[in-house]
Chain A
Amino acid sequence: MSERTRGENRAWRLTFDYVGDQITLAGQEQVAMLAPPDDSEHVQRAQTGYHVELRDDAGRPIYQRILHAPLADSYEVFSPEPGAPIRRVPMEHPHGRFEAIVPDVEGGQTVALVGPPGRAGRAGRSERGAPGRATLIEVRLGQPPEARS
């Protein structure tokens, strides 16, 4: 990744919609901001969960950032009593929106959401060396969102 230069912080913000396991790109934009720090070291060690990945033309990851439950299928419910248990209640029809911010760096061509294969939908494929993970959606930077009815 290129060295941070003051005044030149650039990132891509990608917005995704999901209904059940189906994920679509809702939009992407370049923003003058810092992307979160790279999590590649942690992603290598983990075996399950979700992360967003910036890839080069050959499909190699050049940036990875962990995401917590981007395809949420429940709501978290709290109690006003300090220390009281937290619980979750299911969404009747899981759907929603999530964002990923990746650095705008030379060589970055596509952005992928990687997660459990069970939630891969039609876009899913197995990841080499990463059992339990699949590409759930991959979009080319600069590509317009899919037309939606």
Chain B
Amino acid sequence: MSAADGVIVGTTKLVDHGPDSARWNLVLLAEGYQQAELPKFHADADAFVTRLFSTSPYTELWCALNIYRVDVASTDSGADDTAGCTDGPPGTGTGATVNTYFDARFCFDGSTRRLLAGDQDLANDTAKAQVPAKNAVVVIVNTAEYGGSGGLVAWASTNAQSGEIALHELGHSAFSLGDEYGDIYNTYAGGEPDELNLTVDTNRATTRWASLIRAGTPVPTLTNPDCTTENPAPSPVPAGTVGLFEGGNRYHCGLFHAEYACRMRALGNAFCAVCTDRIRATLRQHLPVASVPVRGTQFTGTLAPRQTHQWFTHDWPACWHVIWTVGTTTPVTPGPGIAWHVRVERATRETITYWIEITNLTATSLDIEARYAVAAKD
């Protein structure tokens, strides 16, 4: 039940947007996959990448990320079925153990079945050894039962809902976001917390995210009348409204978060505007910046008088900033010789197809060329 129970097979750069020294690097580790099951891990890792790509603000900042997959083959499959938890599905908690590299197990604390975790230090060290510039680590555990946890690395089973756990935990570990729920504490009486998605300041003019609160939104927006429990009241404002909603950092009262619903309050929600801003502020510096332009001619052709023709060119990296220019190499004067425009198709997560339509505006044949300049790619 340790590193002796498996072997690191290899590392693959799943999403490659440039040098690790400039990007934000996420590492996905396999846990509880036998050698023959690694193709399943590849599919599970792809599914997580797809989920991340569909999650704002990662979608908009996708070009800031590199993602690695580390294939780790374990002796056995799955995770330990720790005995002692009575809150799991029927038939679980048998005490059966499996020999896996990171020693993942349910009921990690001895009493909570859904708490799935393992050897955090080994997982972190493995990720660092494979990707020295790693920013965050998610361990994907090969079991369909719901479970996961956070910390220095995030753990998530392959259950369709478990990916949400990793997204929430990355909010903590990578972006320093606080929890927006209360669970055991009643009223917070401390000062303004470090976490930027929480505040004690209920002054409309000075509160942390004052610039996001519209004039017509009441402040505080939703207070909690019973500080011994969470407030079950529905939102008094439409979804997506930024205001001050009571509860956070495990306190039912005294701390406020920005929207009624947010992934840092309950899973299954989008990140609120304030959390989104925090993630953006961290990732933005990792986006490709202007570089020495790479220029060239993509295609040439001839257009008959008054003819319109469409060309396409595919598999351009979606993260490149490409500038197109179409010109005619046949002298035409006076007046314009051609008209053109570009349509853009996001063909895949990583590639773009450009559709370039060119019209000959004259009564004579014209030779044309389509030129590109890549202004930013690293």
Q: Which residues of A contact B (CB under 8 A)?
A: 4, 6-7, 9, 13, 29, 31-34, 36-37, 39, 42-43, 45-51, 65-69, 72, 75-80, 82-89, 91-92, 96-99, 101, 132
Contact = CB atoms under 8 A, between A and B. Distances in A.
B179 interface: yes
B225 interface: no
Contact of B179 (A82, A86, A92): A86
A34 B195 contact: no
Given A68-B177, A72-B151, A37 B281 contact: yes
Given A7-B21, A46-B192, A75-B112, A96 B120 contact: yes
A48 B192 CA distance: 6
Interface of B: 19-22, 24-25, 108-112, 114-115, 117, 120-121, 124, 128, 132-133, 135, 146, 148-152, 159, 161-162, 164-165, 168-169, 172-173, 176-179, 181, 183-184, 190-196, 208, 230, 250, 261, 265-269, 281-282, 285-286, 289, 291, 378
Interface residue SS majority, chain B = loop
B192 A76 contact: no
B267 A32 contact: no
Contacts of A39: 176
B180 to A, nearest CB: 9
A68 B183 contact: no
B150 A33 contact: no
Contact of A46 (B120, B179, B194): B194
B192 A78 contact: no
B191 A98 contact: no
A94 B167 CA distance: 24
Contacts of B195: 49, 66, 68
A4 to B, nearest CB: 7
A66 B183 contact: no
Given A66-B194, A97-B152, 15 more contacts: A33-B25, A34-B286, A45-B192, A46-B193, A47-B192, A47-B193, A66-B196, A76-B149, A77-B114, A80-B114, A80-B159, A80-B162, A82-B164, A84-B267, A92-B109
* Most chain B Cβ neighbours within 10 Å, of A66, A78, A82: A78
Contacts of B285: 4, 34, 37
Contacts of B110: 92
B152 A96 contact: yes
Nearest to A26: B121
A6 B22 contact: yes
A79 B112 CA distance: 11
Contacts of B162: 80
Nearest to A47: B191
A23 to B, nearest CB: 14
Contacts of A66: 176, 194-196
B163 to A, nearest CB: 11
A48 B114 contact: no
Given A9-B22, A85-B183, A99 B112 contact: no
